[in-house]
Chain A
Amino acid sequence: MTYNWSAVWHFFVTLTAPALTGVLAALAAVLGLGGFASLRRVTV
């Protein structure tokens, strides 16, 4: 039985460290903008 886990994992292990930082920065931007858009719906 082999554990050919997935292309998602393969994508991350083939990244260089600066490229991974770029991916994480893009993810942070998405979270930041999404949070800004969502905050209006927050009830207190």
Chain B
Amino acid sequence: MKALVNVARYHLVDRVTYLALPWGIMLFSFLVNVAIAATVPSPPGGQYTGGLATIYIFLLVCGAYSMTRSLPFGLMLGISRRTYYLGTALLVAALGVVYGLGLTVLQAVERATGGWGLSLHFFRVPWIMDGPWYQTWLTSFVLLVLFFLYGMWYGLVFRRWSMPGLVAFIAAQVLVILVAVVAFR
């Protein structure tokens, strides 16, 4: 367990990438949406934006980063691949719990202030994150972890097969979706 914690701490040496940028980019997105909501007349029911996606997408980038930039040096430090992966998974789970809680708190503030006084629903996503606080927390956690792991896959494929493999990986996903749509039509 200590080795896994050490791997998580190794990642957190880069605090900017894992701690500052996800929230910083989401804050920027939030401020842009506030500016838009303040200048555009609000439709009935308030304005729903997709700006919250920024934190999830950036965690996908973090996942890819953890496999492309941090892995080689980690292995040079003597960490086994297994320990590296499990330690990274531990970090993902911890980030998911904390960040999910943060998003839940911000959603509660948004509800309490009537959408920041502008009827803006930035942290409140219809259907998927529109229920009680614990459901928002759980869904946020699952989505954050899912996006990070999905990003790790991109990093893994890139490390193993480089750019041609990455392009083939994306093309394969498109084909799988296409086959699923056609097969279950």
> Taking beta carbons and an 8 Å cutoff, which residues of A are in contact with B?
4-9, 11, 17-18, 20-21, 24-25, 27-28, 31-32, 34-36, 38-44
Contacts and interface: CB of A to CB of B under 8 A. Distances in A.
Interface of B: 67, 71-72, 75, 81-82, 84-86, 89, 127-131, 135, 138-139, 142-143, 145-146, 149-150, 152-153, 156, 159-160, 180-182, 184-185
A38 B152 CA distance: 11
A11 to B, nearest CB: 8
Contacts of A7: 184-185
B159 A44 contact: yes
Contacts of A20: 128, 139
Contact of A42 (B81, B135, B142, B181): B81
A42 B185 contact: no
A17 B125 CA distance: 11
A5 B178 CA distance: 12
Contacts of B138: 21
A7 B185 CA distance: 5
5 contacts: A6-B180, A17-B131, A31-B150, A38-B160, A44-B75
A17 B130 contact: yes
Nearest to A9: B181
A32 B149 contact: yes
A6 B184 contact: yes
B71 A42 contact: yes
Nearest to B126: A17
B153 A31 contact: yes
Given A31-B146, A42-B159, 13 more contacts: A5-B185, A8-B180, A8-B181, A17-B130, A20-B128, A21-B135, A28-B146, A31-B153, A32-B89, A35-B85, A38-B156, A39-B82, A42-B81
